[in-house]
Amino acid sequence: MFMEIDEILERIHPLPTGSREALKAHISEVRCLKGHSLIQAGRVGKTLYFIRSGIVRAYSDTDGGDVTFWFGKEGDVVISMKSFVSGQPGYEHIETMEASDLYQMKSQHLESLFATDIHLANWGRKLIGRELIKTEERLISMQFKTAQERYLDLLSATPDLLQRVPLCHIASFLGITQVSLSRIRSEIR
């Protein structure tokens, strides 16, 4: 599946043609191999990406390994929100989980456009709002839902993820071990 840039931008918030074209003038395409690091923890992320095709994951390092806390797929935005909003180093690593086609844009160009085009400033507000809602939903899910409920939510929202991402990362995302994930999967079948 491929998502064209116009479709991705409109999913965030509709833009007048002139504003959309001004935004697209700063966007380029890039192809990344599986395992490519897009954003590194401890560094200021200066680029945002829109996924045309592929899967990425965001994770943090811990003493016991890494913990996956987000997956992105076609149509999603890849950004270190801490870097984008505050200009500070981010806390996450983001890498491609399969060969991916991405659209990329430098954050500084987007900030300049926000300052000169009210339509793009509103588009940016919607983008940040959407990302905030995703974070809030994830927090609520981890606090109030069982591992099985989280797994069923994942299956419902992104059924193809299980064929595209190793189960160790799915288990990490759900906050459980691979053994617990196997048990949940066998109970559901």
Q: What is the 3-state secondary structure (H, E, C) of 41-95?
A: CCCCCCEEEEEEECCEEEEEEECCEEEEEEEECCCCEECCHHHHHHCCCCCCEEE
Q: Are strands 93-96 and 100-106 parallel, antiparallel or unpaired?
A: unpaired
For residue 189, the model assigns a pLDDT of 78
Q: Domain tally for the chain?
A: 1
For residue 114, the model assigns a pLDDT of 97
For residue 139, the model assigns a pLDDT of 94
Residue 139 CA from chain centroid, whole number = 15
Q: What is the residue-level pLDDT of the chain in tens, covering all 189 positions? A: 899 999 999 999 999 999 999 999 999 999 999 999 999 999 999 999 999 999 999 999 988 789 999 999 999 999 999 999 999 999 999 999 999 999 999 999 999 999 999 999 999 999 999 999 999 999 999 999 999 999 999 999 999 998 999 999 999 999 999 999 999 999 987
Q: What is the CATH number of the domain that holds 140?
A: 2.60.120.10
Query: Would 172 be classed as within a structural domain?
Result: no
- The whole-angstrom separation of Cα 80 and Cα 137 is 18
Query: Would 150 be classed as within a structural domain?
Result: no
Query: Would 75 be classed as within a structural domain?
Result: yes
- The whole-angstrom separation of Cα 31 and Cα 126 is 27
Query: Would 170 be classed as within a structural domain?
Result: no
Query: Would 12 be classed as within a structural domain?
Result: yes
For residue 87, the model assigns a pLDDT of 93
Query: Would 158 be classed as within a structural domain?
Result: no
Task: Name which of 41, 40, 38, 42 is nearest 51 in CA terms.
Answer: 38
Domain that holds residue 46: 5-144
Quick one: 55 exposed, middle or buried, by C-beta within 10 A (0-12, 13-18, 19+)? buried
Query: Would 165 be classed as within a structural domain?
Result: no
Query: Would 78 be classed as within a structural domain?
Result: yes
As a whole number of Å, the CA-based R_g of the chain is: 17
Name the DSSP class of 4: -
Task: Name which of 166, 164, 158, 111 is nearest 134 in CA terms.
Answer: 158
The one-letter amino acid at 21: E
